[in-house]
Amino acid sequence: MTQAAATATAASKIYGSGDSEVRALDGVTIAFEKGKFTAIMGPSGSGKSTLMHCVAGLDSLTSGSVAIGDTQLETLSDKELTTLRREQVGFIFQAFNLIPTLNALENIMLPLSLGGQEGDMQWINTVIDTIGLRDRLEHRPSELSGGQQQRVAVARALASKPSVIFADEPTGNLDSKTGGEVLGFMRRAVSDLGQTIVMVTHDANAASYSDRIVFLKDGKIAGEMTEPNPEKVLDYLKHLGE
């Protein structure tokens, strides 16, 4: 097994208490390998987003531990977590990914600018060329299509060469063609540029762009699959639903 970019060990997350207690995560142990594209699937409410947020340092666990690279997140202060997110983690959300007052390029450079860094311009140029939006860099998000916005979000996530990129249903709001383009770029970011991506998705097609799929159910890992294709995934999901 290659080295892990991010790991969760016996991770549990409980919302509320007593009768209204919800175990969003229930003792999840998992490692996301470096240089791989991992998908997380599972029924609605199974804890996918919760897992992702906790591993990414956006939310904290009730018990268990998570690490990005060698860094354990539990001991970090808010400031250290923020710095870690800025430098080691990339994010792509389903929607509202971009700051409306900044243009595409500024959005891409945002995590670097926040850290007061120049960034690796050669790398950033490669990323921009890969997503194919060089002629749109001066445009504001409101002047870009949904697909273009998501591509800018991918570029932003890649810009700081993070240890791992988390994407929560990045194509959830896109039609299948545009979604396919965005997923294609994510795939190339892993295969050609050596990045690590963890993506939550409901879509079997989207999941089949990944190297490995982890299935969650009721806050627990229900199984996994490597070298997925859409049919295999749909089959498995049907079987998981029973």
Partner 1 sequence: MFSLSLKMSLARKGRLILTSLAIILGTGFLSGTFIFSDTLSRTFDRLFTDVFRDVDAYVRSTNFIEVPFGGEQRAGTPIEALDSVLAVPGVKDATGDIQAFARIIGKDGTPLGSDNGPPTFGGIASASVAGLWNIEDGRLPNGPSEMVMDRSSAEKGDFVVGDTVRVNAQSGSREFTLVGIANYGDISSPGGATFALFDQQTASEFLLKPGFVDAFLIQGDGTMTQEELATAVNAALNPTLKLETLTGAQIAEETKDQIGAVVGFLSTFLTIFSLIALGIGCFVIYNVFSITTAQRLRENALMRAIGASRKQVTTTVIVEALIIGVLGSILGFVVGIGLSRGLSALLAAFGVDIPTSGLAIRGPRIATTIIVGTLVTLFSAVFPALRAGRVPPLAAMRDTAFERIGSRKFRFVIGAVIAVIGVAAHVAAAAGVNDWLLGVGVVCVFAAVIIYGPLIAKPVALMLGAPLARRSVTGAMARQNAARNPRRTAGTVAPVLIGVALVTAFSAFAASVRSEIRSVIGDQFGGDYAISAPQNGFGGLPIALSDEVAALPEVQQATGLGFGTVELDGEGRFVTVINPATASGLVDLNMVQGDQSKLSANGVVVSNNRATTEGWNLGDTLEMKFVDGTVKDLVIEGTFIPNGFFGSYVINREAFAGTTNSLFDSIIYVVMKDGVSEEDARAALGAVSEQRGLGTLQSREEFIDAQADQINQILGLIYGLLALSIVIAVVGIVITLLLSVFERRREIGLLRAVGMTRSQVRFTVVGESVITSMFGAVVGVVLGIGEGLALIGTLADDGIAAFSLPLGSTIVILILAFIIGVIAAVYPARRATRVDIMQAISTT
Q: How far apart are CA 45 and CA 92, in angstroms?
A: 20
Contact 124, 189 (CB under 8 A): no
The interface partner of residue 241, options being partner 1, ligand ATP, Mg ion, none and the CB cut-off 5 to 8 Å by kind, is: none
The interface partner of residue 46, options being partner 1, Mg ion, ligand ATP, none and the CB cut-off 5 to 8 Å by kind, is: ligand ATP
Closest by Cα among 135, 219, 127 to 165: 127
Q: Which helix (H) or strand (E) holds 97?
A: none
Decide whether 160 or 179 has the Cβ nearer to Mg ion: 179
DSSP string, 22-45: EEEEEEEEEEEETT-EEEEE-STT
The interface partner of residue 36, options being Mg ion, partner 1, ligand ATP, none and the CB cut-off 5 to 8 Å by kind, is: none
The interface partner of residue 96, options being partner 1, ligand ATP, Mg ion, none and the CB cut-off 5 to 8 Å by kind, is: partner 1
Decide whether 4 or 109 has the Cβ nearer to partner 1: 109
Residue ranges binding Mg ion (CB under 5 A)? 49
Residue 114 as a binder of partner 1 (CB under 8 A): the answer is: yes
Decide whether 112 or 133 has the Cβ nearer to partner 1: 112
In angstroms, the Cα distances linking 1 to 5, 72, 180, 221 are 12, 20, 29, 19
- Applying CB under 8 A, the span of 33-41, 101-109, 124-132, 181-189 interacting with partner 1 comes to 101-109
Would you state the structure tokens that stand for residue 147, as one six-digit string? 């697909």
Contact 66, 5 (CB under 8 A): no
Would you state the structure tokens that stand for residue 142, as one six-digit string? 């409101």
**Sign of the alpha-carbon dihedral angle for 51, 57, 61, 63:** positive
Would you state the structure tokens that stand for residue 23, as one six-digit string? 């175990």
Question: Closest distance between Mg ion and the C-beta of residue 143, in Å?
Answer: 29
Q: Which of residues 13-72 bind ligand ATP (CB under 6 A)?
A: 15-16, 22, 24, 42, 44-50
For ligand ATP, the binding residues (CB under 6 A) are 15-16, 22, 24, 42, 44-50
For partner 1, the binding residues (CB under 8 A) are 49, 53, 58-59, 78-79, 82-83, 85-87, 91, 93-97, 99-102, 106, 109-111, 113-116, 156
